[in-house]
Structure 1
Amino acid sequence: MTEPTAPDETLDSIGTAGVRVLQRRNGYRFTLDAVLLAHFAASENTGAPRPILELGAGSGVVSFLLVKQFNLGPVDALELQPAVHARLQRAVVLNDCETRVKPLLGDLRRIRELVPGGHYAHVVSNPPFRMANAGVRSPDDERAVSKSEVACDASDVVAAARYALTPGGTVSLVYPASRVAEVLGLLTQAKLYPSVLRFVHSRVGSPATRFLVQALRDRDRGLVVRPPLIVHGEAPGGYSTEVAALMDPPLAERVSPLSGDTGD
């Protein structure tokens, strides 16, 4: 049977639960950040499945991993770009997730028009990392919106999460390590109090490249800093044991490692 891809698309597998995502062959493509965020969101939240909102869902990697690999959800997956959203809709069918992942088309800056306030127990986002005025903007609009803060910035993401969360609900984010003070400050100002922080390092002894953070709406229970997450090591694919356990071996050959770009 021929896979349902357009000439400019690829159908890629990720994780240990048979997740498949559609991506542009020469366009913006997810990176390991999406896998690490899904794992972080799942590992720090246990209990019965509860409604989740993903802000900036892109190809749906995080949403699909949450429901298929980590048995969380259901997930409402909000995406701004119509073409990306259309691929996400098709991927929902490919992953048999029609009752578990609901694609939404819209701008998170207009979140009040899209979803009910105070509805979600958990909000996750792998947002654009690069500030709008940092570096040269990609001439490809899809890349530019996914990588740079041209359509939303960190304060917009935090405000949307605050609106969508139930009291005591959790938001999980991934950002460059260089922005840790800024993002933690924005969260605290919004009364989303950081509760868990974990820095991501490419290798043992190397500087942190990313950080993962969870925060609670209206509840300040203090901050726990987890041990560093090391990406590369001696496990299959050149990954650390922890990271290799999150994916099938072929993923190591296809997923971009942590770099200046981010994944959806």
Structure 2
Amino acid sequence: MSEPIAPDETLDSIGTAGVRVLQRRSGYRFTLDAVLLAHFAATEGTGTPGPMLELGAGSGVVSFLLVKQFHLGPVDSLELQPAVFARLQRAVALNACESHVRPLLGDLRRIRELVPGGQHVHVVSNPPFRIANAGVRSPDDERAVSKSEVACDASDVIAAARYALMPGGTVSLVYPASRVAEVLGLLTQAKLYPSVLRFVHSHVGSPATRFLVQAVRDRDRGLAVRPPLIVHGEGPGGYSAEVAALMEPPLAERGPSRD
């Protein structure tokens, strides 16, 4: 790196391709949702090559995974918060993604000022989950903006995705399971027709906690509901085999043990 990690930062690795991200020790930190979203977008997409857009990129986990682990992109990575954006910029160089990930600083509600319309084949977003006035707002602004809909809501995210997508392009989102009816309704109203839906469960037999949805601009192809995605199981790290395969490279690719 061209500059040291700050005392209030951590350098973390994720995925099977050596993706590294910078995060505040006490700020909002990425979760497994980012990994699941990147995998969902990559495997359920149409396969059409072309530019992608991440709305609310944060530390860049989804963008970097799409490029390095799933060999997609290039990706425009839009982030609102200047301090978070600065870490994203540094991580682009850290991951040698200068020609594949383009950080953009700005508000997705002003998307028309930031990117040309109808140019992206796929939009992804792991947006703020919590409705603005639901529960106690975090006193930390970075956490509040990342977790709660204080700077944008689901309709803003979907409107930005609609604007950026080319006809027939796809958008992939992850949201709490309790918001499935709301989000599918907003997508359909925007003529982003849900095409793939998958619920995420912590354990076999437990209620869904999240859902992943992909929708297609202007083309209603019907909705396919995939089998449940189970997070925890008997795989490495206490994950299910499917999730464990996304988290770390196989043992044969890790090199000799240093024990």
Same fold (TM over 0.5): yes
Residue 200 (1) aligns with residue 200 (2): yes
- Comparing 48-57 with 75-84, which one deviates more in the overlay? 48-57
Deviation readout 1:195-237 (Å, 9 max, x if unpaired)? 0000000000000000000000000000000000000000010
In structure 2, how many angstroms separate the alpha carbons of the residues matched to 1:168 and 1:190? 13
- Distance (whole Å) between structure 1 residues aligned to residue 4 and residue 228 of structure 2: 40
C-alpha distance in 2, partners of 1:130/1:106? 21
Q: Distance in 1 between matches of 2:149 and 2:48?
A: 34
TM score, norm. by length of structure 2: 0.94
Q: Secondary structure at the match of 2:155?
A: helix
The answer to whether the Cα contact below 8 Å between 2:48 and 2:121 also exists between their aligned partners in 1 is no
Ranges in structure 2 where 5+ consecutive residues have no aligned partner: 250-259
- How far apart are 1:135 and its partner, in Å? 0.3
Query: Structure 1 stretch 46-55 or stretch 231-240: which is displaced more?
Result: 46-55
1:91-131 deviations in Å (ceiling 9; x for gaps): 00000000000000000000000000001000000000000
Please name the residue that 1:64 is paired with. Answer: 64
Equivalence for 1:173:
173
Native 8 Å contact 1:27 1:142 kept in 2: yes
SS of alignment partner, residue 246 of structure 1: helix
Normalising by structure 1, we get a TM-score of 0.93
Give the alignment of 1:9-158 within 5 angstroms. 9-47=9-47, 49-158=49-158
What letter matches 2:150 in structure 1? Answer: V
Q: Which has the higher contact order (CA 8 A, sep 6+)?
A: 1
- CA-atom RMSD in angstroms: 1.2
Where does residue 239 of structure 1 map in the other structure? 239
Equivalent pair of 2:158/2:190 in contact (CA under 8 Å): yes
- Does the Cα contact within 8 Å between 1:12 and 1:22 map onto a contact in 2? yes
Instruction: Give the conservation status (yes or no) of the 8 Å contact 1:196–1:214.
Output: yes
Residues 54 and 75, structure 1, Cα contact 8 Å, conserved in 2? yes
Q: Return 5+ residue gaps in structure 1 as ranges.
A: 250-264
How far does residue 3 in structure 1 lie from its aligned partner after superposition?
A: 7.8
Separation (CA, whole Å) in 1 of partners of 2:224 and 2:4: 44
Supply the distance in 2 between the matched residues of 1:48 and 1:97 (Cα, whole angstroms): 21
Shift of 1:50: 1.3
List structure 1 segments (4+ residues) > 4 angstroms apart after TM superposition: none
* Contact map agreement 2:198 2:225 (CA 8 A) in 1: yes
When the two structures are aligned, how many residues end up with a matched partner?
Answer: 249
Map Cα deviations across residues 47-94 of structure 1 (whole Å, 9 max, x no partner). 353110000000000000000000000000000000000000000000
SS at match of 2:221: coil
- Equivalent residue, structure 2, for 1:6: 6
Tell me if structure 2 keeps the 8 A contact 1:19–1:95.
yes
Q: Distance in 2 between matches of 1:124 and 1:104?
A: 15
Q: Does the aligned pair in 2 maintain the 1:49–1:71 contact within 8 Å?
A: no
